[in-house]
Chain A
Amino acid sequence: MAGQTSTAPAGVAARRPPEPDRRRGAARAQLLPYWLVLPTLLYVVAFFAWPMVQAFGLAFLGEDGGPTLEHVRTMVGDVQFTSALTFTLLLLVVILPVQFAVALTMALLVNNTRLRARGLFLYIYALPLAVSELAAGIVWFAIFTQQGYLNSVLERVGLIDVPFIWLDYRAPEQLLLAVVLAEVWRATSFVMIILVAGLQGIPRDYLEAAEVFGAGLLTRVRRVILPMLKPSIQVALIFRTILAFQVFATVIALTGRGATVLTAEAYRWQTDVRDPNVAAAYAGLILLLSIVSTAVILRLTRTPPEQRMV
C-alpha cells in the first residue's frame, strides 16, 4: 500500500508537460466550483435530505422498528382529517384561478406604456410580496371580525343595522371566502412579478401585429399573450400550488379553530396531541400532494415540440 501511494505521483510527474505549476493551477481551478457548492450541498443534505428520511421513518415505522401503516391509519381515521383535506383542496381550487386572473390584470396594467406612474403602481402591487401569512391573516381579521372595518363601513353607509358575523364557524363557505380573499391579497404579487417579467419578454412587434390585424384585447390575451406567457405561468402555477398545500397561519388567524387545514392538523398532532408520528404522516401527505401536483402541472402545461419557440 505504501508502495502504491509513492508510485502514483511519480507516474503523474513523468507524464507531466513542461509547466507543472500552471497545470496544477488549472486542476485546482477545475475543483474550485465543487469547493464553492460544497457548503450548500452539505447543508441541504443535513437539513433537507436527512430530516426527510427521518420524517418517513416517523410516519411509517412502528415502535418495534418494523414498517407499519398504523400512523397513516390514525391520520385518516381522525375526525378532522376529511375536513382538513377538503378545506385545503377547496382553497387551492378557488384561490388559483382568482389569483391568476388578478395577477394577469395587474401585469397587463403595469405593462401598458400608456399608463402613467407605472413604477408606482408596480411597487404598490408588489407590496404584499414580503407580507407573512400570519400578518395577512390578521389584516383580514381586522376587516372581517364582528366589530371590524367591513361592518363599520357597511354600517356607516347605512347598509346594515346590526354587525354581520362574517367569520361564522357555522358557515364554512364564509370562512373559505375570508381565507381566499386574504390569500389572494397576499400571494398574488408573486404571480404578478413573474407574469410581468414574462410579458417583458414578448416582442412588441407580435402585439402590434395582432393589433394591426384587428385583434381586440381579449383575442390578444388569448391568442398571443397567454401562449407566450406559458413558461412563466407554469413556474408560477407550480410554486403557488405547492405553497397552497402549506397554508397555515392565515387560516388560524381568520378562523380560529373554525376551519382546519393539513398543516394545522400536523401542528395539532405535534404540539397538542404530542404524537410526532401522525404529524409526520401529515407532512408526508403534504409532500406527496406537492410532488403529484407538480407532475400533473408539468404534464398539463407541456408544450408540444412543434409549438415551441426559441
Chain B
Amino acid sequence: MSGESSARMRTILLHAGAVAMALWILVPIYFITAAAFSTQEAVFGYPKPLVPQISTGTLEFFLGASGVLPSFRRSVVVAFVTLGLAVAIGTPAGYALARFRFRGSDTFRLLIVSTRAFPIVILSIPLAVTFIRFGIDDSSFGLALMHTALALPFTVLVTSSVFAGISEELEEAAMTLGCNRLTAFRKVVLPLALPGLAAAAIFTWIISWNEVFAASILTLRNRTLPAQVLAALTQSPLPFQFAGGFVLLAPALVVIFVIRKYLFSLWGRVSR
C-alpha cells in the first residue's frame, strides 16, 4: 500500500518538476510576447497587466522607427546569403568526412571542431580593416562572408553526421546498378539526406540572423536588425525595446519548432 502511494507521489513530483522547468522557459517568452502585443500606453504603464489588451501599436511603432525596416530586410538577405555560401562550401566537406577515410581526415575534423565556438571577436576586428581595403566594408556581402565563417564549422559537422546516418550500402548498391558516384549521390543519398540538410540549413540561417557582435563592428550605416536594435537600445523608449526583443526572438522559436525532430542530429552528436 505504502509502496504504491509513494510511487504515485513520485510520479506526481516528476510531473510537477517537469512543469516547473517548462514554466521557467515559457514565462519569460510569454512576458515579452505580451509586451509586444500591448498598446504603447500599457507598455509605459505600471503595474503592467499580466493579460494584455491585444494591440499591434507597439509592434507598428517599432517597425516604423527610423532604420528598422531596411535593417530587417538586410538581416534576411545576409542570413540567406550566409545559408547559401555555408551549405555550398560546407556540404561537400561534410560528405567527405562521412564517407572517406583519407590521409589527414582526422586533422581536418579536429581543425573544424576547434573553429566551432571560436571567438568571433578575434576574427571581426582584423576583418574590419581588410574589408575596407577590398571595398566591402559596411556591406551586406562582407558581413555574409563573416557569418559564413561563423556558420561553416557547424554546417560541415552537422552535414557530416547527416550523411553518416545514411547507409553506405544503398550508395554502393546504386553504383553496382550502373550509377556513378555523382548520380548515386543525386538519386539515392540526396533525397534521403534532404530533411537533415534542410534542418542544418535552417539553423545556419538563424546563426546569421542572431549574430550581433561582428554585425556591429563591420557595419555602420547598413546595419542588420540586431546591430540596429543594439545601437539604438539605450536611447530608445520601452515599446521599441520590447517589440525589438520580440521580433528578434520570434524566428528563433519558429526555427526550433520546424527542426524539432533533428535536435539530436544537430547537437547530440557534437561529442562524437
Number of A-B residue pairs with CB-CB distance less than 8 Å in the complex they form: 285
Number of interface residues of A (CB under 8 A): 100
Enumerate the 6 nearest inter-chain pairs by beta-carbon distance, A residue then B residue, closest first: A138-B245, A197-B268, A132-B210, A47-B149, A54-B126, A36-B96
In this complex, what residue of B is CB-closest to A286?
Answer: B119
Among A203-248, those with CB < 8 Å from B are 231-232, 234-235, 238-239, 242-243, 245-246, 248
| C-alpha spacing A238/B163, complex, angstroms | 26
Of the candidate stretches B164-172, B186-194, B246-254, the one touching chain A is: B246-254
A residues with a Cβ closer than 8 A to B are 29-30, 32-37, 39-41, 43-44, 47-48, 51-52, 54-55, 57-58, 102, 105-106, 109-110, 112, 114-116, 121-135, 137-143, 145, 147-149, 151-153, 155-156, 163, 185, 190, 193-194, 196-198, 200, 231-232, 234-235, 238-239, 242-243, 245-246, 248-249, 252-253, 256-257, 263, 266-267, 270-271, 276, 279-280, 282-284, 286-287, 290
Of the candidate stretches B64-72, B76-84, B109-117, the one touching chain A is: B109-117
| Contact flag A132-B226 (CB < 8 Å), given A47-B145, A149-B31 | yes
Q: Which residues of A contact B256 (CB under 8 A)?
A: 123, 126-127, 129-130
| Contact flag A139-B112 (CB < 8 Å), given A242-B117, A266-B121, A282-B121 | no
Q: Which residues of A contact B268 (CB under 8 A)?
A: 193-194, 196-197, 200
A130 to chain B, nearest CB (A): 4
| Contact flag A246-B120 (CB < 8 Å), given A129-B256, A142-B242 | yes
Does B25 contact A125, Cβ atoms closer than 8 Å? yes
| C-alpha spacing A257/B233, complex, angstroms | 12
| Contact flag A283-B121 (CB < 8 Å), given A114-B11, A129-B256 | yes
Does B260 contact A135, Cβ atoms closer than 8 Å? no
Known pairs A125-B21, A185-B24; list 15 more (Cβ under 8 Å). Answer: A37-B97, A55-B125, A109-B17, A115-B18, A116-B15, A126-B260, A126-B263, A127-B29, A128-B252, A130-B203, A130-B256, A134-B212, A142-B31, A147-B44, A276-B125
B residues with a Cβ closer than 8 A to A are 10-11, 14-15, 17-18, 21-22, 24-26, 28-29, 31-32, 35, 44-48, 50, 88-90, 92-93, 95-97, 99-100, 102, 105, 108, 111-112, 115-123, 125-130, 145-146, 148-149, 152, 156, 181, 203, 206, 209-213, 216-217, 226, 229-230, 233-234, 238, 241-242, 244-245, 248-249, 251-253, 255-257, 260, 263-264, 267-271
